[in-house]
């Protein structure tokens, strides 16, 4: 017989308001997290640090042991506690999120909030349809990460100060539910229409990864007489290539899942670069370079950062400097 990691409690699982100063443990929202990599582990730590009751589970036994020792995980089978939590966070690899939605919906014996934090949404549409009232689905995309993966690199403050995309599915999610997540993660909510999420990610995240990696490939394949490039690379090169050095397995999955949008955006980029190349080969100056500073200032202003601010608010999704 498996052990329930949570003590029994009464009350509606969907109306629990979250932790309030001075509230008893009976008023806490209970959070279950499936998938304890960098993102899932960081979410678990953020909620745990905020005083929520958290139980995390991962398919890897070694990760489950690490999480249990950190006080935010259990080695008990996920089916033993899935009906004892108020919210289930799916932070698994994108390829299996749909199957996890199916399994959780089938196993849960009470209404709950299902939270998906995947970086690509379109492939999950058939599985989202399986979440029916009185349960509800909250589709989020926290725009932060690191070059590295895994529970060992978790950081409860990882998302603080960054945007968190709210991607409404069918209906807008309850405001108090969104506020609970934004307050706990320390993020700024940005509502993005469902059909625009993946094209936007191809523009600000997925194609930038390809561009960054292409600079590394260019340096790696440079002529022998330029072999000193690693020694002379400055901050411009290191900043530009930071995202290109991140986990290739993760990016292969993302690019494959968002193939149509990436293909379209990358074609636009290739057309732009070909135009620039023609102008440069003829000794000209691509006029679009003149508007580049204004484009960056626009992004900084939208994220509440001054151009001269020392705070790095311009990190591309999925990448933060290593601690």
Tens digits of residue pLDDT in 122-174: 999 999 999 999 999 999 999 988 777 899 889 999 999 999 999 999 888 99
pLDDT recorded at residue 97: 96
**CB proximity list for 144: less than 8 A, separation 6 or greater:** 158, 159, 162, 315, 317, 320
Q: What is the pLDDT of residues 178-187, one digit of tens each?
A: 999 999 999 9
Mean pLDDT of 30-55: 95
Percent with pLDDT over 90 in the chain: 75
Q: What whole-number distance in Å separates Cα of residue 241 and Cα of residue 243?
A: 6
> What is the tally of helices (H) and strands (E) in the chain?
12, 7
Q: What is the pLDDT of residues 229-285, one digit of tens each?
A: 999 999 999 999 999 998 888 899 999 999 999 999 999 999 999 999 999 999 999
Domains and CATH numbers, the chain: 25-192 (3.40.50.720), 196-302 (1.10.3660.10)
Which letter does DSSP use for residue 28 in this model? P
pTM confidence score:
0.83
Q: What is the pLDDT of residues 89-121, one digit of tens each?
A: 999 999 999 999 999 999 998 998 999 999 999
pLDDT recorded at residue 306: 57
Beta-bridge mates of residue 169: 171
């Amino acid at each position: 017989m498996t052990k329930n990691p949570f003590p029994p409690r009464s009350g509606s699982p969907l109306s629990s308001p979250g932790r309030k100063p001075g509230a008893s443990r009976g008023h806490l929202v209970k959070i279950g997290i499936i998938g304890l990599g960098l993102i899932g582990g960081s979410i678990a730590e953020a909620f745990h640090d905020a005083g929520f009751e958290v139980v995390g589970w991962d398919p890897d036994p070694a990760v489950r042991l690490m999480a249990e020792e950190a006080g935010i995980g259990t080695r008990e089978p996920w089916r033993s506690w899935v009906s004892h939590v108020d919210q289930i966070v799916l932070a698994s690899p994108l390829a299996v999120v749909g199957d996890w939605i199916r399994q959780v919906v089938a196993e849960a014996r009470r209404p709950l909030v299902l939270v998906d934090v995947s970086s690509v949404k379109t492939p999950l549409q058939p599985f989202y349809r399986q979440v029916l009232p009185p349960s509800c689905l909250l589709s989020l995309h926290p725009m932060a990460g690191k070059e590295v993966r895994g529970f060992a690199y978790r950081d409860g403050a990882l998302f603080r100060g960054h945007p968190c995309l709210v991607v409404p599915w069918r209906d807008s999610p309850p405001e108090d539910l969104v506020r609970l997540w934004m307050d706990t993660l320390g993020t700024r909510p940005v509502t993005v229409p469902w059909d625009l999420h993946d094209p936007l990610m191809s523009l600000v995240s997925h194609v930038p990864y390809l561009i960054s990696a292409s600079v590394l490939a260019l340096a790696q394949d440079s002529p022998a007489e330029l072999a000193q490039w690693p020694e002379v690379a400055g901050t411009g090169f290191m900043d530009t290539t930071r995202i290109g050095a991140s986990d290739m397995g993760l990016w292969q999955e993302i690019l494959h899942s968002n193939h149509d949008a990436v293909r379209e955006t990358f074609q636009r980029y290739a057309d732009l670069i070909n135009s620039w190349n023609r102008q440069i080969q003829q000794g000209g100056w691509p006029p679009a370079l003149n508007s580049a500073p204004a484009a960056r200032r626009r992004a900084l202003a939208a994220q509440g950062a001054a151009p001269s601010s020392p705070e790095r608010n311009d990190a591309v999704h999925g990448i933060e400097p290593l601690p």
